[in-house]
């Protein structure tokens, strides 16, 4: 079907915007139309200009309607420096020309349930890597080993992003504690969609209590309304940091969350217990640790990785927080599990029972 775009065919729309409106200009409507329309390139440069160039020769009526709506949303979200608004031209005003609209107030948005969500990301050995113990038994081999975000923390970040996308949160901040190499995991979190990242740099190994104290110190600075953590890390499997943070912070906690709903200054959490599912309600601010079945994290795309390089990442030495490491436990030696013994074939049930009795299993 031939195109009926009229003045919308092959056009440059140059609008002057503030940096705070950049996210609205490169909104969902434009990006989802890009694959159908042909080529839509959005660039925001230092001069705060957004240039959208469209080109299409064969669009159906449905695609044309979606594209018209996208361009309208794009122009209606932009303002000149004098406060006047832009809108697409009509044939009467000529191709490529624009007329300003009268200044009007933007529609009032409802206040988010939470202003800020703080998400913890721990750097751990990738779950697909086979863990090896060092020859001297001093720890786990990490040289040349792929490191990733702890899977449960990745689920926590995905849930925070979904809450923000529903308009229930204003900002998502990711926090990691560890060496400078942990910036890689924070950049991945920024690429997923987090707004800011904080690295509390510490080159020494910290236990769960020290990490909870660091989270508390950062929480006092950032004043989050919700703290999301993975229920446990796959390296030490302690499942302690979230609970300790709630105790130090003196705020409610909800652990092993498989569903999270915010509303009226409270969080309704469905958690998995031995007998099934349990739903509890806690007042905000609160600490919530998430379980495996809460969601499935999104895939990070290359353009998002490039954008993440421009997002702010603050590094804070652990000494600046006034936290002194005082581990209550000391690990003296690591050892791999015993190799699995070769199985034995038995000829009957009686021989099986007798073999189990000899091993002391029955």
Alpha-carbon distance of 243 to 241, in angstroms, equals: 6
The predicted structure's pLDDT at residue 111: 61
The predicted structure's pLDDT at residue 127: 86
CA distances from 60 to 48, 54, 71 (A): 33, 15, 16
CA distances from 20 to 97, 132, 165, 265 (A): 25, 48, 17, 27
Question: Please, what are the averages of pLDDT over each run of 10 residues along the chain (362 residues)?
Answer: 36 35 37 39 36 39 52 51 48 44 47 85 89 81 86 94 92 93 93 94 87 94 94 88 94 94 92 89 94 91 91 92 79 82 84 87 78
The predicted structure's pLDDT at residue 343: 80
Alpha-carbon distance of 140 to 133, in angstroms, equals: 4
Structural domains of the chain in order of their starting residue, each with its CATH number: 6-93 (3.30.1370), 114-321 (3.40.50.620)
| Helical ranges in 166-204 per DSSP H | 183-192
Which H/E stretch holds residue 29? helix 28-37
Cα–Cα nearest to 50, from 70, 28, 29, 79: 79
**Hey, which bits of the chain come out as E strands?**
11-16, 41-44, 49-54, 114-120, 123-125, 147-149, 169-178, 196-201, 226-230, 253-263, 266-273, 276-283, 286-290, 313-317
The predicted structure's pLDDT at residue 3: 36
Q: Decide: pTM greater than 0.85.
A: no
3-state secondary structure of 335: coil
| Side-chain-facing half-sphere of 94: CA atoms under 13 Å | 4
The predicted structure's pLDDT at residue 68: 56
Cα–Cα nearest to 16, from 61, 55, 46, 60: 46
The predicted structure's pLDDT at residue 14: 34
Alpha-carbon distance of 300 to 303, in angstroms, equals: 9
């Amino acid at each position: 079907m031939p195109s009926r775009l009229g003045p919308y065919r092959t056009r440059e729309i140059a609008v002057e915007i503030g940096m705070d409106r950049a996210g609205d200009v490169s909104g969902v409507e434009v990006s989802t139309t890009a694959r159908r329309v042909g080529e839509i390139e959005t660039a925001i440069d230092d001069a705060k200009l957004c240039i959208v160039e469209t080109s299409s020769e064969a669009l159906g009526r449905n695609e044309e309607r979606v594209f018209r709506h996208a361009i309208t949303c794009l122009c209606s979200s932009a303002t000149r420096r004098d406060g006047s608004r832009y809108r697409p031209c009509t044939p009467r005003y000529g191709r490529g020309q624009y007329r300003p609209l009268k200044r009007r107030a933007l529609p009032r948005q409802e206040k988010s349930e939470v202003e800020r969500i703080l998400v913890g990301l721990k750097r751990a050995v990738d779950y697909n890597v086979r863990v090896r113990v060092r020859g001297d038994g001093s720890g786990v081999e990490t040289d040349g080993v792929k490191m990733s975000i702890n899977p449960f923390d990745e689920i926590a970040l995905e849930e925070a992003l979904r809450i923000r996308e529903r308009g229930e949160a204003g900002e998502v901040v990711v926090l990691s504690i560890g060496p400078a190499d942990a910036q890689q995991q924070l950049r991945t979190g920024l690429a997923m969609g987090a707004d800011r990242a904080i690295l509390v740099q510490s080159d020494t190994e910290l236990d769960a209590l020290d990490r909870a104290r660091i989270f508390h110190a950062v929480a006092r600075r950032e004043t989050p309304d919700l703290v999301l953590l993975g229920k446990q890390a796959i390296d030490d499997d302690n499942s302690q940091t979230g609970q300790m943070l709630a105790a130090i912070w003196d705020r409610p906690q909800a652990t092993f969350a498989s569903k999270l709903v915010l509303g009226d200054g409270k969080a309704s959490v469905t958690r998995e217990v031995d007998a099934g599912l349990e739903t509890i309600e806690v007042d905000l601010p609160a600490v919530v640790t998430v379980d495996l079945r809460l969601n499935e994290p999104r895939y990070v795309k290359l353009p998002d990785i490039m954008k993440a390089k421009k997002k702010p990442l603050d590094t804070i030495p652990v000494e600046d927080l006034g936290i002194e490491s005082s581990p209550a436990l000391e690990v003296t030696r690591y050892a791999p599990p015993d190799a699995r013994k070769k199985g034995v074939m038995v000829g009957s049930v009686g021989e099986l029972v007798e073999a189990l009795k000899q091993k002391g299993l029955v």
